[in-house]
Amino acid sequence: MSATLMGRGPVPPEIATHFTPQDVVRGQAYMDGRYWLFAAGTILRLGLLLALVLTPLSATLRNAAVRMVPAHPAVAVALYIAFLVTLSELCLLPLGYYSGFVREHAFGVSTQSLGGWLLDRGKGLLLSWVLLIPAGSLLALLWRRYPGRWVLPAWILGSMLLVVVVALAPVVVDPLFNTVKPLQNPALRQRVLALAARAGLPVQQVYEIDASRRTRKGNAYFTGLGGTKRIVLYDTLIADNDPAAVELVLAHEMGHWKHAHIWKGLGLSVLAIGAALWCGARVLEWAAAWRLFLLTGVADIAGLPLFLLVLFALSLLTLPVQSGVSRYFERQADYESLQLSRDPMAFIRSEVNLARSNLADLNPPRPLVWLLYSHPPTAERIGMAETFDKSTH
């Protein structure tokens, strides 16, 4: 599903005004590869799950785990899940190396050494073990203890776990990969506090991370819940933009804060978890009833790949909805940033700088925007700022 084959149409006037033809060509070349890599990653994950479901591979892993600790079923379950997580990492590692290291260096946006990239990958694997082994073991326990009735307790516990992870990520996960510290620029910090006061938000501190040790791309994000709620800026964003443009990015993140997008996203995720668990339970019951895929029963841990296959398929089917909701949230945050700052020209400068540093596709095909884009295309965002500018003059 190549963007080139699908056609792009004429370059929007917002792009022709603010970008060079070289910007357009470079962004298209970079993102065309990203589209193909997304497709390749999807096929690879799907292929791995199908191999686990349709061959004796999952049952073999289960049997190996049981043989290692025959007297401890719970430990065998944990070992099986560790095998699955590790197998997935090994299968995805070559594609991840090409997309996350080789290609990023080829386009001149990565500053990371191979050793640093491998260290990050190792940390990611350890984090997956820490999160997924207990979660998978708990799910397997519910399968055994509450056959036919495990969906509701799994939904409740899964939702609680999601909230805990989102709340703790800024103070537990982020520092594993970056140095996180309060915003160092005192003048910019004063602008932040003044902006927060205008927005009526209790922003006491904004943080920056040393993203430059990995990338030349600029970014910012809003994260956390309650006491861990915070706005985080890349040091590359601060270095490559004037204070007014950085303030616009901050205003955008405050827009997410003001509209409670994290809580709304969590609410939607909780609904999605419930629906996915129900669908997965029905498929597991069907497979166990017909003794398919070498399963010994509905509580057989070897059925976990089938369960994950159902969740993966549902995620793909609902991807346009997920992307659409995200774009809606981003439009709200964009408009809020314009209302807060009253500076559409700074908004446009920040969008131009972000698009250049991130090698954005400046004229993406509409079907791919509908399917994959979590943010509105650059032309749409600049167009919003231009319309806002005209409406205020």
pLDDT, residue 198, reads 87
* Cβ–Cβ < 8 Å for 286, 160: no
For residue 19, pLDDT over 70 is answered with yes
Tokens describing residue 114: 């191979």
**How much is the pTM?**
0.93
Helix boundaries (H) for the chain: 3-6, 13-18, 21-54, 57-68, 73-97, 103-106, 114-145, 151-168, 174-177, 186-199, 235-240, 243-258, 261-289, 304-317, 319-341, 344-357, 366-372, 378-391
**What's the rounded Cα separation, in Å, for the pair 346 and 280?**
48
- Residue 189 binned pLDDT confidence (cut-offs 50, 70, 90): confident
- Residue 7 binned pLDDT confidence (cut-offs 50, 70, 90): low
- Residue 2 binned pLDDT confidence (cut-offs 50, 70, 90): very low
For residue 4, pLDDT over 80 is answered with no
* Cβ–Cβ < 8 Å for 338, 255: no
For residue 6, pLDDT over 90 is answered with no
Amino acid identity for residue 159 in this structure: S
For residue 389, pLDDT over 70 is answered with yes
pLDDT, residue 343, reads 94
* Residue among 90, 113, 109 at smallest CA distance from 31: 109
* Cβ–Cβ < 8 Å for 244, 308: no
What does the mean pLDDT of the chain come to? 94
Q: What is the pLDDT of residues 302-340, one digit of tens each?
A: 999 999 999 999 999 999 999 999 999 999 999 999 999
Lowest mean pLDDT among 8-12, 201-205, 206-210, 386-390: 201-205
Average pLDDT over residues 39-56: 98
**What's the rounded Cα separation, in Å, for the pair 18 and 348?**
9
Listing DSSP states for 298-317 in one string gives TT-GGGHHHHHHHHHHHHHH
Q: What is the pLDDT of residues 306-315, one digit of tens each?
A: 999 999 999 9
pLDDT, residue 3, reads 38
Instruction: Give the SS3 label for residue 379.
Output: helix
Q: What is the pLDDT of residues 101-116, one digit of tens each?
A: 999 999 999 999 999 9
- Residue 75 binned pLDDT confidence (cut-offs 50, 70, 90): very high
Q: What is the pLDDT of residues 199-218, one digit of tens each?
A: 888 887 789 999 999 999 99
The end-to-end CA distance of the chain, in Å, is 43
